[in-house]
Structure 1
């Protein structure tokens, strides 16, 4: 149906009413029968004013449906957090000034935790761990029985055919006394070892001192001839037991053939 004829002129109301009554609605019609019933159209013969009123009611219904569907998508997906109330300049909190006694206490604690005595370390004679001096224990070599470690070392030398394996590092002794870290000291009962510490040199972790032929090798040369290469090496920045530690070394990619 169309309100205009083939020549483009508007059809009179009588012609439109007749065409509307004779028309059979299809899905492509502007007003379907179901929509006409929803709009309140029940009579078969309608005037032009009734048709326009029905179209207005139908448009209002469709617009309300569109608004409802759009309102679902317009809802915010994220929850909006409420902003804290703004404080006035009079209510704002400022840093509290410390007294001179509190400042002196902070400086005193910092010096106590960073002085030489706090950073001082010793090498454990039996596992090589660098332990803080406060956690180390000193045992006279004449009083401590290490026969258990010596027996394990002798057996390990025969099985592995490594004659340089030793039970302790003789260079780590201080005034003829062994230095024991916390872990190795727990394995000592009275004046002897009741068990072999896990990280002990007696387990094959100590191969003796470096031979004279290899003492002058550089770090890179050591990596070239080593059977096992370390992924990280630690060096002292200063001599003495209180020297600081830092990661330092050469970077080089070596062929694996």
Structure 2
């Protein structure tokens, strides 16, 4: 019976005779570039997020554009079958919106959605693809965390004290 090893045996490091050891200290320009890149990647702009008006997902601000600044036709996001106007009584008819299914109070659009909308296609995770639940009613605007859990459609298992 042959033994199979899942671990790769490390080969010894070979030092070429052409390179001096220890290496020379880093140059000032290299140190400057490292610090500058670190500062850019850890700046608040790299972490701040905002919602996309088309898909509703939180996206880093650096990957968002304003819909008003982009020349796009949002007619591909009109989906009257997947959207419904709010009804106050059962007797009212079910009517879909004839406007694009986007977050009304949100102007940014993420890069992925912008590319798809410019092609005239509805993005995979857009609100127009059945993910639109409408505006939050006034009665549900100022709920506490516990109240939100109680009325949510998803079962959460929090420990609330």
TM-score under structure 1 normalisation?
0.41
1:111 maps to 2:39: yes
1:227 corresponds to 2:153: yes
Give the structure with the higher percent helix. 1
1:155 is aligned to 2:63: no
How many pairs are equivalent?
Answer: 132
Provide runs of 4+ in structure 1 moved above 4 Å. 93-97, 161-164
Does 2:110 correspond to 1:181?
yes
How far did 1:113 drift?
1.1
For residues 36 and 153 of structure 2, the distance between their equivalents in structure 1, rounded to whole angstroms, comes to 49
Bigger-Rg structure (1/2): 1
Structure 1 residue 200: Cα displacement: 0.7
Distance in 2, matches of 1:213 and 1:203, equals 26
**RMSD of aligned C-alpha atoms?**
3.5
Displacement of 1:169 after TM fit? Answer: 0.3
Change (3 A) 1:156 1:108: closer
Query: Does 1:130 find its partner at 2:58?
Result: yes
Question: Alpha carbons of 1:182 and 1:225: their partners in 2 closer, same or farther (altered >3 Å)?
Answer: same
Provide the residue aligned with 2:103 in structure 1. Answer: 169
Structure 2: distance between partners of 1:203 and 1:230: 25
Task: Give the whole-Å Cα distance in 1 for the aligned partners of 2:61 and 2:70.
Answer: 22
Taking structure 2 as the reference length, the TM-score comes to 0.61
Q: CA deviation at 1:126?
A: 0.5
Q: C-alpha distance in 1, partners of 2:26/2:44?
A: 28
Shift of 1:168: 0.2
List gaps (5 residues or longer) in structure 1: 1-80, 85-92, 174-178, 232-249, 253-257
Q: In structure 1, the residue corresponding to 2:114 is in which secondary structure?
A: helix
Distance 1:142 1:104 in 2: 36
How far apart, in 2, do the equivalents of 1:143 and 1:102 lie?
Answer: 41
Give the structure, 1 or 2, with the largest relative contact order (CA under 8 Å, sep 6 or more). Answer: 2
